[in-house]
């Protein structure tokens, strides 16, 4: 928001950010005009920008949690970016983040999309229901943004902005 949070005006603590820690398709709602709104802040934490990450108990949903968050238990802005990227890939591919019905090499959406990207078959991951009606360049852009957000190196991920 243009004027930041009420907290920053009342207490001059504008150098904080909110880590949602559970960005996923079911915590994003759509209004009448299909504008997305992030909800369910039950796992969210307010953290200081100056602190890179904070050790917390493991929180989130498997399939949406960044690998470094799973292994270290540290929440970060980059972990929320990772979760956002998974949602972008779900939209583009028409698949859930984890699909046990597929063979092991395709069960993880992120791993499957990275594999097809490496084999120069990125558009092969596009949801067939969407690819007929959408522009291939737009689909490639969405998939690329999703992959950028789920980059294995958290320092190489896009910022939330």
Mode of pairing for the β-strands spanning 74-75 and 28-30: unpaired
Structure tokens at 24: 């996923």
Please give the span between the terminal C-alpha atoms of the chain, in angstroms, as a whole number.
12
Q: Please identify which of the residues 22, 48, 80, 133 carries the catalytic annotation.
A: 22
Q: How far apart are CA 158 and CA 161, in angstroms?
A: 8
15 is a catalytic site residue: no
Beta carbons of 72 and 10 less than 8 angstroms apart: no
Residues catalogued as catalytic: 22
């Amino acid at each position: 928001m243009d004027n930041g949070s009420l907290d920053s005006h009342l207490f001059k603590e504008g150098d904080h950010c909110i880590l949602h820690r559970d960005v996923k398709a079911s915590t994003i709602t759509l209004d009448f005009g299909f504008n997305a709104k992030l909800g369910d802040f039950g796992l969210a934490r307010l953290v200081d920008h100056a602190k890179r990450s904070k050790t917390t108990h493991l929180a989130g949903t498997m399939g949406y949690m960044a690998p470094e968050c799973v292994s270290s238990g540290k929440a970060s802005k980059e972990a929320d970016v990772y979760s956002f990227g998974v949602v972008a890939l779900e939209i583009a591919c028409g698949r859930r983040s984890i699909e046990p019905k597929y063979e092991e090499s395709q069960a993880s959406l992120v791993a499957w999309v990275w594999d097809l990207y490496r084999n120069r078959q990125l558009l092969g991951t596009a949801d067939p229901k969407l690819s007929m009606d959408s522009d291939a360049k737009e689909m490639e852009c969405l998939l690329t943004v999703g992959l950028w957000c789920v980059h294995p190196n958290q320092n190489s991920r896009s910022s939330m902005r």
